[in-house]
Structure 1
């Protein structure tokens, strides 16, 4: 039985009072919306219309909301019963773009469905594959998830979009002040302000951005003119195609995405148990199945592939509220937002410094969670090299991606992100060294 940590204000099965529950869910929704720019970019890049943009964004939000709700359930073989929300999956962006270029949105939908089926197979047989994921591998994955977010968070924090671009001092000032508000609310002893750390920083950052002119008032005017409710067209939803040539890339990305989800679920589980040592195999399998259903739903509905959000898991730790009831409410609200151009527009115009401050805030918790899991695994000699070597090469890909630019085409999805490369390398290295040690004995 889990030993509840003292710092949790609302544990896994607690039901916060309705007003608090609503506010906590709103915080998670803002983080869940942080990657909604990806379907916008994808559709516009292939020459889609604004109607296409609205449909893909809305359906991505519906799929992410469904995934968040399913993840919070404890069904037979599906759902982890943890607060681990979904969002539009950044790791699927490159392969989704390739599919959209080759065959338009119908091909992207078909390949997304295929990726969901791949993860379903992994989830179904996860109990036989659990030996691949000892605690030190989990810690490495959690740590690399955090590190992979750092470039995006820091660039938003400094107001820089491209290399060799000057740091925007106004953007930086707003980001610093917003981050300090969130940190201050979190570290104050004896109160419940930590529950609303992000929710306090958000309006502060929004207002400061508009007052100083860092965010144009025109953006808000566009939101004001949008309708409160709009049902997207479903006419082209069943236009689905498939390509065997793209399947290997989607399989690899799906496996890497499952590895990330495994790390997020393990982090969410460890937050709720003071004596946590290793992930619950049955719960991890159910969580992966929930994630697979969310990806499949995204393809069937016509949205982009979804993924579990490490930032949201870290937010639950930072706020001290890990109740899975928050997942039900946040998921439902996110689905409703998908059908409200006005409300989703408010999320879409989130000022850059605010987004940067939030990402830096939650990454801090993710880094410490990864380090703690590695330390608690009581590392031996093999663990030292598995962690050290995989992190070394993973960070080299993060810092110098040009070193790996000429990899064979079929291997490129593994090297598309430092997280994927580090996770795969850690698993392979751990199996090789463990096998060598057994042979020697």
Structure 2
């Protein structure tokens, strides 16, 4: 069981009370449904008919709910709270394929994208070195940066042409909503904090109504819409275009990276002792997402992805319980049977949505920075992170750079998240060249073993990017072991201190010529420290075995080997 952080009220395996669970799930479901704007934009850009647009949206909502349940359920997915929303990464793919061949072409390319994502999950274990914490941290940070632009556009009502003038009622509503959410998240406890987003959004909606910022005459009549009706689904057919194949594969890779980033964020939020991403859990989550996208494609729907915005809601409410995700998925699924409910959600004030997105963006940016700085930063890692973030910001603040590229490259470079993460992966692999995963230093009689261990292990920890707390814990253990071998004449000559690192373990081995030490299973008495050298060695060896994650004794040729293993 992971140790629950102090700011989490209901962790992943916990069961909130029924009333609390329903209200928390309702917040996530409403937030997810707000983002049906993505398939609506894609349909409008492609010039789809009203009926085809309804099929695209309905299929998206149904499988958004089903996929949320698959991704959240521990047996099929991540076992943490990851609510799906329409996948913004699919917008370029949807616009291009819908324009080329209508719903059948989009369905075909979506099927290809889903199978490409499934193929990536076969290599999740091998990809651990490709996605160290600094790369995942860049992805999480840029997820927040990517949310900032749509958040501010909605907060300042810059979605449509405004003639260059800003109506300050919109930012007033947004920042009042944001201030209420932040104040409740920081200063309140219990139920008020749990429902911070719902309370803030409700007050913001009321303020928007007071200022007249909601549409008086929506483009549809509520009375003409049925309250409950069967979903409008149909087989779209499948056609493939070679022109869309590169975009489909790129979309699969970027979506998988985005999914990995959300899994990392939730795992880190849920575990006070978080060390590294659980790639098996991430693989299950990506597989569940791919299966959901495949189902959506076969009924003419739009693809979904884990919601980075919902991570901000989870942080605000202090809840990562996967049961909340199951309930939210059921609510989203049920909403597909109520055209009137979906229509109501479509008129939630844009400024209120902007406030929620600003909260989520702020959390993700800080969470990504914290993830990056969880490792010791060598020059290589500093430039990996810095150059990658700059690359992502370049396409965010200078869109003309993307416009200057060939059309087929636009889907790759128009997303700050995909650009920054791609650069981070490439630079991480490039800067690994020339780094040996093993190094050693001699410890001689008369040397200060603690100074030698500190200088050696901190240097190697910086170079390898090991966790700060692991290196700090290894230094005194390695120094005590070296002193024990030299001061008690168990080593007949110098001792070689050897360090080895992979993403799983940080090992420090001491190699020496001399007699092997014995590590007792029961704690020796303190009087052993007053005995001969072998008794002292037994006592020190026992204490080392309790402080290291594992103590291994062995031989290498004619030398004895004592290895201290620290799990990483």
**TM-score under structure 2 normalisation?**
0.74
Question: What's the offset of the Cα at 1:410?
Answer: 4.7
- Whole-Å Cα distance in 2 between the matches of residues 154 and 422 of structure 1? 21
Equivalent position of 1:52 in the other structure: 52
Provide, for residues 36-68 of structure 1, a one-character-per-residue CA deviation record: whole Å limited to 9, x for no partner.
112122223333232222221111011111111
| Structure having the larger proportion of residues in strand | 2
**Runs of 5+ unmatched residues, structure 2:** 440-568
1:254 aligns with 2:256: no
Equivalent position of 1:318 in the other structure: 316
Task: Pick closer, same or farther for the CA change 1:313–1:113 going to 2, 3 Å.
Answer: same
Larger Rg: 2
1:92 aligns with 2:90: yes
Question: What's the offset of the Cα at 1:376?
Answer: 1.0
Equivalent position of 2:73 in the other structure: 73
Question: What's the offset of the Cα at 1:289?
Answer: 0.8
Match of 2:101 among 96, 100, 103: 103
1:63 aligns with 2:83: no
Indicate conservation of the 8 Å contact 2:65/2:332, yes or no: yes
Indicate conservation of the 8 Å contact 1:145/1:310, yes or no: yes
| SS class of match (1:133) | coil
Bigger relative contact order (CA 8 A; separation at least 6)? 1
| Matching of residues 35-434 of structure 1 within 5 Å | 35-75=35-75, 78-161=76-159, 165-219=164-218, 222-234=221-233, 236-434=234-432
- Which range moves more in the overlay, 400-409 or 151-160? 400-409
Task: Pick closer, same or farther for the CA change 1:395–1:44 going to 2, 3 Å.
Answer: closer
- Whole-Å Cα distance in 1 between the matches of residues 48 and 232 of structure 2? 14
Equivalent position of 2:31 in the other structure: 31
Equivalent position of 1:7 in the other structure: 7
Indicate conservation of the 8 Å contact 2:30/2:345, yes or no: yes
Equivalent position of 2:554 in the other structure: none
| SS class of match (2:221) | helix
Indicate conservation of the 8 Å contact 2:131/2:425, yes or no: yes
| SS class of match (1:266) | helix
Question: What's the offset of the Cα at 1:165?
Answer: 2.8
Indicate conservation of the 8 Å contact 1:277/1:377, yes or no: no
| SS class of match (2:185) | helix
Equivalent position of 2:498 in the other structure: none
Indicate conservation of the 8 Å contact 1:89/1:305, yes or no: yes
Task: Pick closer, same or farther for the CA change 1:261–1:226 going to 2, 3 Å.
Answer: same
| SS class of match (1:370) | helix
Provide, for residues 326-374 of structure 1, a one-character-per-residue CA deviation record: whole Å limited to 9, x for no partner.
1100001101111211111121111011111111112121111111101
- Whole-Å Cα distance in 2 between the matches of residues 257 and 165 of structure 1? 35
Question: What's the offset of the Cα at 1:8?
Answer: 1.0
- Whole-Å Cα distance in 1 between the matches of residues 260 and 371 of structure 2? 14
- Whole-Å Cα distance in 1 between the matches of residues 250 and 411 of structure 2? 6
Question: What's the offset of the Cα at 1:139?
Answer: 0.5
- Whole-Å Cα distance in 1 between the matches of residues 279 and 149 of structure 2? 32
Indicate conservation of the 8 Å contact 2:395/2:414, yes or no: no
- Whole-Å Cα distance in 1 between the matches of residues 193 and 95 of structure 2? 39
Indicate conservation of the 8 Å contact 1:160/1:168, yes or no: no
Indicate conservation of the 8 Å contact 2:54/2:232, yes or no: no
Provide, for residues 159-183 of structure 1, a one-character-per-residue CA deviation record: whole Å limited to 9, x for no partner.
1125873222111111122112212
Indicate conservation of the 8 Å contact 1:140/1:391, yes or no: yes
Task: Pick closer, same or farther for the CA change 1:207–1:226 going to 2, 3 Å.
Answer: farther
Provide, for residues 286-320 of structure 1, a one-character-per-residue CA deviation record: whole Å limited to 9, x for no partner.
11111211221221121111111111122111210
| SS class of match (1:307) | strand
Question: What's the offset of the Cα at 1:221?
Answer: 7.7
| SS class of match (2:195) | helix
Provide, for residues 155-212 of structure 1, a one-character-per-residue CA deviation record: whole Å limited to 9, x for no partner.
1111112587322211111112211221222122443311111110222222222222
Indicate conservation of the 8 Å contact 2:77/2:281, yes or no: yes
Indicate conservation of the 8 Å contact 2:107/2:236, yes or no: no
Task: Pick closer, same or farther for the CA change 1:233–1:134 going to 2, 3 Å.
Answer: same
Indicate conservation of the 8 Å contact 1:69/1:327, yes or no: yes
- Pairs aligned (count): 438
Equivalent position of 2:489 in the other structure: none
Provide, for residues 193-252 of structure 1, a one-character-per-residue CA deviation record: whole Å limited to 9, x for no partner.
111111102222222222221112323983454211122333x41422112221111101
**Runs of 5+ unmatched residues, structure 1:** none
Indicate conservation of the 8 Å contact 1:318/1:365, yes or no: no
- Which range moves more in the overlay, 176-185 or 111-120? 176-185
